[in-house]
C-alpha cells in the first residue's frame, strides 16, 4: 500500500512539474533520446525494438547487466555519445523530479497548516 502511495505522489509531482517549461523540456528530451537510441541500435545492431529500448534504459541508468552489448564499431561509437548525453539528461531529470516532489509535499503541508490556523466561523 505504501508503494502505491509513493507512486501516486510521484505522479502528482510530474503533473505539478509539467507547468514548468524546463521540466517539460527534460521529459521530452529524455523521451526523444530513448526513442532515438532505440531506433539507432535497432538499425546498427540489428536488434528488435524491444531489445534496443531495453539496452538504452539499462545503459542510461548505468546498470549494465551485460546481456546486450554493441558489436559493430558504429554501435560502439554511438554508445559513447549516447551515454554521455543520456546519463546527464537522466540526472537533470531526476534532480528536477525530486524538486517537484519536495514542492508538492511542502505545498500540502502549508495548506494543512493554514486550515488548522483558521479561526472558527462566527457563532461557534
Quick check: 73 pLDDT over 90?
A: yes
Quick check: 40 pLDDT over 60?
A: yes
User: What phi and psi values does residue 70 have, to the nearest 5 degrees?
Assistant: -60, 135
Q: Which domains does the chain have, with CATH numbers?
A: 16-116 (1.10.287.70)
Mean pLDDT of 94-114: 89
Mean pLDDT of 68-73: 95
Share of the chain above pLDDT 70, in %: 91
Per-residue CA distances from 105 to 5, 41, 109, 111, 112 (Å): 13, 40, 6, 10, 11
CA distance 52 to 8: 29
Residue-wise pLDDT for 42-61, tens only, equals 999 999 999 999 999 999 99
CA distance 19 to 16: 6
Which pLDDT value is given to residue 67? Answer: 92
Task: Check if the beta carbon of residue 78 is closer than 8 Å to that of residue 47.
Answer: no
Residue-wise pLDDT for 16-35, tens only, equals 888 889 999 999 999 999 99
Overall pTM surpassing 0.85 (yes/no): no
Quick check: 124 pLDDT over 70?
A: no
Which pLDDT value is given to residue 30? Answer: 96
Amino acid at each position: 500500500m505504501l508503494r502505491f502511495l509513493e507512486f501516486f505522489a510521484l505522479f502528482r509531482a510530474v503533473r505539478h512539474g509539467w507547468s514548468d517549461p524546463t521540466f517539460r523540456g527534460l521529459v521530452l528530451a529524455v523521451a526523444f533520446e530513448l526513442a532515438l537510441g532505440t531506433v539507432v541500435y535497432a538499425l546498427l545492431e540489428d536488434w528488435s525494438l524491444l531489445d534496443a529500448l531495453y539496452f538504452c534504459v539499462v545503459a542510461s541508468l548505468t546498470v549494465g547487466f551485460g546481456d546486450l552489448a554493441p558489436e559493430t564499431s558504429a554501435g560502439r561509437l554511438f554508445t559513447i555519445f549516447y551515454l554521455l548525453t543520456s546519463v546527464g539528461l537522466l540526472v537533470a531529470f531526476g534532480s528536477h523530479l525530486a524538486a517537484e516532489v519536495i514542492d508538492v509535499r511542502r505545498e500540502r503541508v502549508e495548506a494543512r497548516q493554514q486550515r488548522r490556523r483558521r479561526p472558527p466561523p462566527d457563532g461557534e
